[in-house]
Amino acid sequence: MNTQDKLAIYDWVNENKLKKAQRIALLESWRRSFTFHEGDLNASLLLLALPSEVKTSKEFLKPSNGEIKGFHNWYKLTEAGKLLLKQLNEKVVWKKEFNQELFEA
């Protein structure tokens, strides 16, 4: 990932005043949308996480099939989450090499 892409992501995070947990959940959803769903933001299995990991991101993510406390659940994007990731897509064009870099971050 080049410096320009990193700065664009940093700007996107700051413009939307995202907290660390929100940033992590949304960037992982963005990564998974391209890695497993060909960029489809309407996919229902975008994020696998514990409810405690997404508690600050409820306006952007919702459970795909109910939520069980203490277990990993699948989450999908709300309309607000889709809008945020569309904004990110306008700033940064997805490249395959992002997958490994974001996964390791």
pLDDT tens by residue, 27-70:
999 999 998 898 999 999 999 999 999 999 999 999 999 999 99
Angle at the Cα of 34 from the Cα atoms of 79 and 74, rounded to 5 degrees: 55
HSE (CB half, 13 Å, CA atoms) of 38? 0
CA dihedral 9, 17, 54, 102 (to 10 degrees): 10
Please state the pTM of the whole predicted model: 0.89
Helix axes 79-91, 20-37, angle to 10 degrees: 80
Q: What is the pLDDT of residue 19?
A: 96
Q: What is the pLDDT of residues 68-77, one digit of tens each?
A: 999 999 999 9
| CA dihedral of 38, 41, 42, 47, whole degrees rounded to 10 | 90
